[in-house]
């Protein structure tokens, strides 16, 4: 490979005509002024094309006319599919799982090696990337992300997506208590995180390695849809007073609120108790959610004091629509919160 003033280039035999008789004409060597040796089957391009390439300086000559000309190929323009340079034992993925689950003979079929996915992730992304695996299986991707973060002090995050696929009752996984593929992935993340911490316990900064994760299941909204019964409007209105589905937990509603606000589901959530009521402070007070009933003005004053304590730039507050003790409390609550410069107050 040679270097010219601007770009790196090499020679290519793409001027040769493949397989059949091509174009025949003479090209004079710039030093000897004699016709250059022609390819066995002639030139691939007509003479006008070669003359244009000559004018553009894209023809590469040999030391004399005895060498066939070549077409210059510039590194800046040349894209070639590289052959694989990664050699891995296909059994490594199974070994990875066996080290984590020694009590299960065969936990998962054809798991990917952690070392392979770690290479892919390191090649294709930065150390603060978000890695999304739509077919997470045994969660090798999550294992690889944590392993890479331990190696380079990265802050990569992951999202593992897995359908609620059940394990066959005849499998070792099912017999070991893992009813679904997702169950395997969750336990793998737990065990892999602990193992990575243990293996790197002497490394500086390892104590800040984040091995935690949250699990979410796709479901319908926690809030009842407005479905009026025209034959019994009064009952429809009464049913709408309590608009949260009865089988849902407060945490379910809380995370739906986060989604509706477009907030990161990994934000820190602190649970506070004020006047006997549970409050959730998200993002150090950026959002406060109270999902209890019979909220009193004492609770409202407590929220105002919480803003003074945490001192967020802006605090948003969310209540249940029917959560106040009575309409007077609800009206007064808005005025009290305004006194603490809390203007963004919503009910669901």
Note the pLDDT of residue 307: 96
Q: 75 and 132, same structural domain? A: no
Note the pLDDT of residue 231: 61
Residue 9, beta-bridge partner list:
2, 74
* SS3 assignment, position 316: strand
**Domain boundary pick from 208, 228, 262:** 208
Question: Whose structure tokens read 């109270």?
Answer: 290
Note the pLDDT of residue 1: 42
**Domain boundary pick from 22, 53, 80:** 80
Task: Please answer whether residues 16 and 25 qualify as being in contact, where contact means their C-beta atoms are separated by less than 8 angstroms.
Answer: no
- 233 within domain boundaries: no
- 301 within domain boundaries: yes
Cα separation, 251 vs 234, whole angstroms:
31
- 15 within domain boundaries: yes
* SS3 assignment, position 236: helix
- Mean pLDDT for each 10-residue chunk of the chain (348 residues)? 56 76 92 93 91 91 92 68 63 93 94 93 90 96 97 95 95 97 98 96 92 94 69 56 80 93 91 96 96 94 96 94 88 95 92
Q: 293 and 188, same structural domain? A: no
Q: 202 and 97, same structural domain? A: yes
Note the pLDDT of residue 3: 41
- 172 within domain boundaries: yes
Cα torsion 77, 80, 85, 89: sign: positive
Cα separation, 219 vs 7, whole angstroms:
57
Q: 203 and 253, same structural domain? A: no
Instruction: Please compute, for residue 31, the number of CA atoms within 13 A of its CA located in the half-sphere on the CB side.
Output: 8
Note the pLDDT of residue 83: 52
The range of the structural domain enclosing residue 194 comes to 92-208
pTM: 0.67
What's the structural domain count of the chain?
Answer: 3
Tokens of 54: 């000559």
Task: Please answer whether residues 166 and 178 qualify as being in contact, where contact means their C-beta atoms are separated by less than 8 angstroms.
Answer: no
Cα separation, 303 vs 289, whole angstroms:
10
- 219 within domain boundaries: no
The residue among 13, 41, 42 whose CA lies nearest residue 26 is 42
- 60 within domain boundaries: yes
Sort 10 into a burial class: Cβ within 10 Å, 0-12 / 13-18 / 19+. Answer: middle
**Domain boundary pick from 149, 179, 208:** 208
- 231 within domain boundaries: no
Q: 293 and 190, same structural domain? A: no
- 13 within domain boundaries: yes
* SS3 assignment, position 297: helix
Alpha helical stretches, state H, the chain: 47-55, 92-100, 114-124, 140-152, 172-175, 181-199, 233-241, 250-261, 297-310, 327-339
Task: Please answer whether residues 271 and 278 qualify as being in contact, where contact means their C-beta atoms are separated by less than 8 angstroms.
Answer: yes
Note the pLDDT of residue 227: 60
Q: 341 and 263, same structural domain? A: yes
Q: 134 and 27, same structural domain? A: no
Q: 135 and 41, same structural domain? A: no
Q: 193 and 96, same structural domain? A: yes
């Amino acid at each position: 490979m040679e270097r010219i003033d601007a770009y790196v280039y090499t020679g290519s035999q793409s001027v040769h005509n493949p397989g059949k008789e091509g174009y025949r004409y003479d090209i004079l060597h710039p030093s000897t002024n004699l016709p250059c040796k022609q390819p066995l089957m002639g030139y691939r391009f007509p003479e006008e094309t070669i003359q244009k390439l000559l004018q553009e300086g894209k023809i590469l000559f040999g030391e004399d006319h005895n060498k066939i000309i070549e077409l210059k190929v510039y590194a800046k323009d040349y894209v070639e599919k590289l052959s694989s340079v990664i050699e891995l034992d296909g059994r490594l993925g199974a070994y990875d799982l066996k080290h984590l689950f020694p009590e299960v003979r065969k936990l998962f079929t054809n798991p990917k090696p952690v070392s392979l996915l770690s290479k892919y992730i390191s090649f294709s992304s930065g150390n603060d990337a978000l890695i999304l695996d739509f077919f997470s299986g045994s969660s090798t991707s999550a294992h690889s992300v944590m392993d890479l973060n331990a190696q380079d002090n990265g802050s990569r995050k992951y999202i593992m997506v897995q359908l609620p696929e059940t394990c066959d009752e005849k499998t070792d996984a099912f017999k070991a208590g893992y009813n679904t593929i997702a169950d395997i992935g969750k336990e793998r993340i737990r065990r892999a995180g602990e193992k990575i911490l243990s293996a790197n316990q002497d490394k500086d900064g390892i104590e800040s390695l984040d091995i935690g994760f949250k699990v979410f299941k796709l479901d319908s909204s926690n809030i009842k849809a407005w479905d009026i019964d025209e034959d019994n409007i009064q009952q429809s209105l009464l049913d709408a007073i309590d608009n949260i589905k009865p089988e849902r937990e407060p945490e379910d509603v809380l995370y739906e609120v986060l989604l509706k606000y477009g907030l990161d589901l990994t934000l820190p959530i602190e649970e506070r108790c004020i006047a006997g009521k549970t409050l959730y402070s998200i993002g150090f007070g950026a959002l406060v959610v109270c999902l209890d009933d019979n909220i009193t003005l004492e609770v409202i004053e407590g929220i105002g004091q919480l803003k003074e304590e945490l001192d967020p730039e802006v605090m948003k507050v969310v209540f249940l629509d029917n959560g106040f003790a009575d309409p007077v409390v609800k009206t007064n609550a808005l005025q009290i919160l305004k006194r603490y410069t809390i203007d963004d107050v919503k009910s669901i």
